[in-house]
Structure 1
Amino acid sequence: MTEAPSAGARRLALLLLIVVSVFNYLDRTIISILQVPIKRDLSLSDAQLGALTGLAFALFYSTLGVPIARLADRYSRRWVIAGSIALWSAMTAISGFSTSFAALVFFRIGVALGEAGSIPATHSMLADYYPPERRATALAIWGLALPIGVMLGYLSGGWLAQAIDWRAALWIVGGVGVLLAPLILALLREPARGRFDSGPAPAAMPWQEGLRVMARRPSLLLLFAGGALNNLVLSVALNWNAPFYARLHGMALGDIATALSLMTGIGGAIGIFAGGWLTDRVRIDTPERRPILTGIALLLTTPAALVQLQAASTAVSLAAGAVTVLLLFFYYAPIIAMTQSLVPASIRAFTSSILLLSVNIIGLGLGPWLTGILSDMLGGADHSLRTAMTMISFFGLAAGGCFLLAARFYAKDLRK
């Protein structure tokens, strides 16, 4: 075990990684709130909107994350992170010049390419800054960047689009991110790899062997499956809630931006922190309770979502939506902490990239796109979108079941 980083170094690293992740989710989310003016200006269908916010982004984000994670397992993770934020922010700004669906998809693929490198490298760094017994809480604090980024994405996108236009929103947000990249490179320090593992610092494991290690852990595979199914429901909520409230409840874009930022910011923050904090409170001699705790939370997402989508009252729908978001985000810190604990340090970034691949191809890639296709197939009217979102919400039950089943193998896999 190498010398531990100071408390100040850990706090600074955590803060910087939070800032990076905030911009990650801000740039990813802003296109969701801008769907309303983009659909009008570029004459897009619901299926095209679903592909833009889901499939086109997720395919490249997920698949490119694997080779970039291999670089993070071999070379400097801070360079990977700084380069990633510079690229995705530049592509966000450039996407404001799009005049067609094809151009907008092309630039969003560029955003996906940049964002693909950030999260696996971050997971690996945090695992070397914090010991296993504090890791879920640290990841929960870092994970607050997700609801904060989504909240800022809704607010900045909605209000800038209403005050100026949707193109200016992309120019401004992307430009600020580009300026942040050199600051991250200057201040972020690289921790010793495998700091809390016994024995010498590990060499990078060949990817084929890494996949074999993962395949021998059934709990890990079930966590991947449960995370993918939960992210399917979560991605639909994050990407289609704005059109839902505009069409079904007649809300103005600025009001939607404020409501969704509060719903996601407060509900998501509580869910992420509660998930990490409660997971670290589980006794060390009963680790199987960690996936059980998360599984129960995910089972409850479906009834909460049904209330949100079917309520006639806007106030009731928004309140139920906040509960739904809280429960959907509960899995975030636990799944990262559990998967990082199930594998050796030499493949942690690689494991995170495989987690992101499964979660985002199925969840982010298929969820918004299938919702758009279902909405168009059902007639494309306002009620069609409600029906499509309702159908997708039932995947929450399967997500919770996967986590409960993972509990049967989790303790044994930890000993491996």
Structure 2
Amino acid sequence: MRNEAIVAGSAREGRLALLVLILVSVFNYLDRTIISILQVPIKRDLALSDGQLGLLTGLAFALFYSTLGVPVARLADRFSRKNVIAASLCLWSAMTALSGFSTGFATLVFFRIGVALGEAGSIPASHSVIADYYPPNRRATALSVWGLALPIGVMLGYLSGGWLAQAIDWRAALWIIGGIGVLLTPIVLMLLKEPPRGRFETAKVVQAPPWKDGLRIMARQKSLLLLFAGGALNNFVLSMALNWNAPFYARAHDMALGDIATALALMSGIGGGIGIFLGGWLTDRIGATSLRMRPMLSGVAMVAVMPAAILQFTASSLSVSLVAGGIAVMLMFFYYSPIIAMTQSLVPASIRAYTSSILLLSVNIVGLGLGPWLTGILSDMLGGGADGLRYAMASLSVLGLVAGGCFLLAAKWYGEETLR
């Protein structure tokens, strides 16, 4: 009876922790996405070019978000992950609110870098906490449920940003959303419990090794390196779409900001939610019979992104474009939970947060950093306007094919390299 009570209590704590981490992650992606829908009024008020918008939503954010995630993750591997998560939430929410006081490109970039500093610590620590609440055979499903925060956050970011900007202005949207996140911080500290580190490991959990030794462990895994590369390229296409879809539909289909917000919220919320959940659910079930199928499933989804995305950006019909865009988003989000679960299974518990930070570094420097920025530069080179942006986005969607190839190749070594 006592053992059953312990198991039941642990399960309740796991569900509560997952719920809290979902809430934190929703605000992570909400604060990150809101600037994308606000590009339309910000471009007008601050007189920015497409290249500047791409730098603002891409490289300026991703460079600090990705690089600072590594040292913060090292702290999470050594100290309280709960405190790291709560402090991160408070910082990025405050900087989001302060972004509403921006007077030009330089000040807006400064505050967005502040948002990046805050968000850098949340995701790796959350991965590590979830891995210690859920065993390996349930981990991808748990991460897929947690991963639903991404499409929910993106959906709320589009809706709140678009409609608040249309009803009041873009500055008020940033003040309101950032302020709510700050108020959430003490609730997170109160509800989130720190689980025993490495509770499901068969090997004895040791102290986190020096950072160079951690990198050597990762570098020995061929499948891990290919997952990093494929994830980075897939996120390139995904970040391009999430950051430039709003300006695309405003220019190419002459949609009002509120209508764009609703359309993109449904596209990302429904399409992204289905993709994330199916990715985790199918990977756990089909991957249980064959470990090789885990990376292969995501690889096939990535290959299918290219035709759907090209149709989205070249179709003259708005309805066809929106449906194709929803399918493309679903396929791009499919990898999200599996790549986290697979990378966590390839390394020991002592470097899990560190591994997540390296994953985020590679994925976000290449994807979030270069995707929006290079799309803006290419759009300017092609003349800007509706056609310049259309052809820039369609041509760069081809990278989804390369991303899928990396995951399919990773299947060759993944099974034998997985830590059992």
Tell me the TM-score range normalised by the shorter chain.
Answer: over 0.9
Change (3 A) 1:351 1:17: same
Match runs of 1:369-384 below 5 Å: 369-384=373-388
Match runs of 1:10-409 below 5 Å: 10-409=14-413
Amino acid at match of 1:359: V
- Maintained 8 Å contact 2:96/2:174: yes
- Tell me, in whole angstroms, the C-alpha distance in 1 between the residues paired with 2:106 and 2:211: 34
DSSP 3-state at the match of 1:224: helix
Amino acid at match of 2:80: S
In the TM superposition, what is the alpha-carbon distance from 1:282 to its structure 2 partner? 2.1
TM-score of the aligned structures, taking structure 2 as reference length = 0.97
- Tell me, in whole angstroms, the C-alpha distance in 2 between the residues paired with 1:376 and 1:403: 32
- Maintained 8 Å contact 1:267/1:323: yes
- Tell me, in whole angstroms, the C-alpha distance in 1 between the residues paired with 2:13 and 2:392: 47
Identify which range, 104-113 or 378-387, moves more after superposition: 378-387
- Maintained 8 Å contact 2:223/2:417: yes
In the TM superposition, what is the alpha-carbon distance from 1:205 to its structure 2 partner? 1.5
DSSP 3-state at the match of 1:6: helix
- Tell me, in whole angstroms, the C-alpha distance in 2 between the residues paired with 1:118 and 1:111: 12
- Maintained 8 Å contact 1:77/1:121: yes
In the TM superposition, what is the alpha-carbon distance from 1:3 to its structure 2 partner? 7.6
Runs (5+) with no aligned partner, structure 1: none
DSSP 3-state at the match of 1:190: coil
- Tell me, in whole angstroms, the C-alpha distance in 1 between the residues paired with 2:170 and 2:267: 22
Amino acid at match of 1:319: V
Could you give the per-residue CA deviations for residues 314-351 of structure 1, whole angstroms, max 9, x where no partner exists? 01100100000000000000000000000000000000
- 2:11 pairs with one of 7, 13, 25: 7
- Tell me, in whole angstroms, the C-alpha distance in 2 between the residues paired with 1:415 and 1:15: 27
- Tell me, in whole angstroms, the C-alpha distance in 2 between the residues paired with 1:363 and 1:35: 19
The alignment covers a number of residue pairs equal to 415
- Maintained 8 Å contact 2:313/2:394: yes
Runs (5+) with no aligned partner, structure 2: 1-5
- Tell me, in whole angstroms, the C-alpha distance in 1 between the residues paired with 2:183 and 2:288: 43
- Tell me, in whole angstroms, the C-alpha distance in 2 between the residues paired with 1:337 and 1:6: 21
- Maintained 8 Å contact 2:347/2:419: no
Change (3 A) 1:285 1:277: closer
- Maintained 8 Å contact 1:225/1:359: yes
CA RMSD of aligned residues (A): 1.1
Could you give the per-residue CA deviations for residues 204-243 of structure 1, whole angstroms, max 9, x where no partner exists? 1211111000000000000000000000000000000000
Could you give the per-residue CA deviations for residues 130-167 of structure 1, whole angstroms, max 9, x where no partner exists? 00000000000000000000000000000000000000
Amino acid at match of 1:159: W
- Maintained 8 Å contact 2:279/2:337: yes
- Maintained 8 Å contact 1:5/1:129: no
In the TM superposition, what is the alpha-carbon distance from 1:369 to its structure 2 partner? 0.2
DSSP 3-state at the match of 2:196: coil
DSSP 3-state at the match of 1:401: helix
- Tell me, in whole angstroms, the C-alpha distance in 2 between the residues paired with 1:216 and 1:298: 25
- Maintained 8 Å contact 1:4/1:195: no
- Tell me, in whole angstroms, the C-alpha distance in 2 between the residues paired with 1:214 and 1:321: 35
DSSP 3-state at the match of 2:259: helix
DSSP 3-state at the match of 1:374: helix
- Tell me, in whole angstroms, the C-alpha distance in 2 between the residues paired with 1:310 and 1:124: 41
In the TM superposition, what is the alpha-carbon distance from 1:71 to its structure 2 partner? 0.1
- Tell me, in whole angstroms, the C-alpha distance in 1 between the residues paired with 2:327 and 2:415: 30
In the TM superposition, what is the alpha-carbon distance from 1:201 to its structure 2 partner? 3.2
Change (3 A) 1:260 1:206: same
- Tell me, in whole angstroms, the C-alpha distance in 2 between the residues paired with 1:168 and 1:191: 38
Identify which range, 65-74 or 378-387, moves more after superposition: 378-387
In the TM superposition, what is the alpha-carbon distance from 1:199 to its structure 2 partner? 3.7
TM-score of the aligned structures, taking structure 1 as reference length = 0.98
